[in-house]
Amino acid sequence: MPRAITAFSNPLIKQIRTLREKRHRRESGQFLAEGLRILAEAEEMGVLPEILFFATDGAGHPIAQRLIAKVEAEGGEAIETSRDILHKLSGKENPQTVLGVYRQPATDLADIDRTIAPIWLVAQALRDPGNLGTILRTGDAVGAGGLILIDDCVDPFSVEAVRASMGALFTQRIAQARWGEFLPWLRAGEGQLIGTHLAASEDYRAARYSAPTFILIGNEAQGLPADYAAACDLRVRIPMKGKADSLNAAVACAVVTYEVLGQLGG
C-alpha cells in the first residue's frame, strides 16, 4: 500500500531532491526520470524505478496504476504526494504526475558488445543536455546499439538530458570513456570510425559505410579535435548551401546516421 508524503521537510524528499545535482547522482548511483511516457518506456524495457512518486490527481491513470502495482510487487516503494512536491523534486514548473528514482546502468566500455548492432553513436565533449537527449532518440529510431560519450560530456542522467531523450535513455546502452581508452578498444575489434568534420573532402552521401559503423560527433562549438579527426577511418561533411557553416550537433548526427542506415539496409 503506497504511503503518502505531504511535507517538504520530509528527509526522503530532501534526499531525492539532491539528485538534481551531478555530484549526488554519482555518489548515489541514482537518477530521476519523470512523466508517464518516459516511465512507461522504461517499463517496456524491463526497468522499474526503485522509488515511484505519483501525484494524488494522477493516481487513477491506467499507466500510473500499473506502475504503482509493479513497483510494489518488485519490492520498490510507491509514494503518493502533491504536485508542489513533484515540482520540488524535478525543478519543473509544470511537473508531470509521476517521477521515478532509477539506478544508473553500468557505463564502462567493457559492458559494450559491438556485435549487437550495425550502428553506434559516439559524441565527444558534448555540452548540451538537449543535444544528448536528441542523439539518444536518433539512436533509438535507427536501432543503434547505443551512445558512447568521450571525454568530458554533459551528464546523460541529468534531469534535462533524461527529459530530452523521451525514454530513449532506457533503450540505448550508454558508455563513458576518455579518448585514450576508446580508440584502443575500438581498434581491438571490428568497427569503422566515421568522423563528421567541416574540413572533410568527402560528401557524407558519397562515402561507403560498413557495419559496425561508429559515427563520431564533435563538441557543439569546436567540432572534433584535429588528432581525433585524423584517427577516423573516414571523415565526411554535410554540404551547406546557405550562410551557416554547420548544423546543430544533434541534427548533423541524425542526417549522417540515416544515410548510414540506408546504406546498411535499414
> In this structure, what CATH number is given to the domain that contains residue 258?
3.40.1280.10
Domain range for 229 is 109-263
pLDDT digits (tens, 9 = 90+) for 222-240: 889 999 999 999 999 888 7
Tell which residue, 39, 18, 40, has the closest CA to residue 30.
18
Number of domains in the chain: 2
**Where among 103, 123, 143 does a domain terminate?**
103
As a whole number of Å, the CA-based R_g of the chain is: 20
Same domain as 199, residue 154: yes
Same domain as 113, residue 97: no
**Where among 103, 130, 148 does a domain terminate?**
103
Phi, psi of 169, deg, nearest 5:
-55, -30
Q: How many angstroms separate the CA atoms of 68 and 82, rounded?
A: 16
Dig out the grid coordinates for 30 from the structure: 541514482
pLDDT digits (tens, 9 = 90+) for 184-212: 999 999 999 999 887 778 999 999 999 99
Same domain as 253, residue 142: yes
Q: How many angstroms separate the CA atoms of 81 and 147, rounded?
A: 35
Same domain as 117, residue 72: no
Same domain as 95, residue 143: no
**Where among 75, 103, 131 does a domain terminate?**
103
Same domain as 146, residue 126: yes
Q: How many angstroms separate the CA atoms of 229 and 260, rounded?
A: 18
Same domain as 197, residue 145: yes
Q: Are 78 and 38 spatial neighbours (Cβ–Cβ below 8 Å)?
A: no
Same domain as 185, residue 230: yes
Same domain as 152, residue 91: no
Q: Is the pLDDT of residue 64 over 90?
A: yes
The pLDDT value recorded for residue 14 is 94
- pLDDT band (50, 70, 90) for residue 95: confident
Same domain as 116, residue 96: no
Q: Is the pLDDT of residue 266 over 90?
A: no
Same domain as 127, residue 91: no
Average model confidence (pLDDT) across the chain:
92
CATH of the domain at 88: 3.30.1330.30
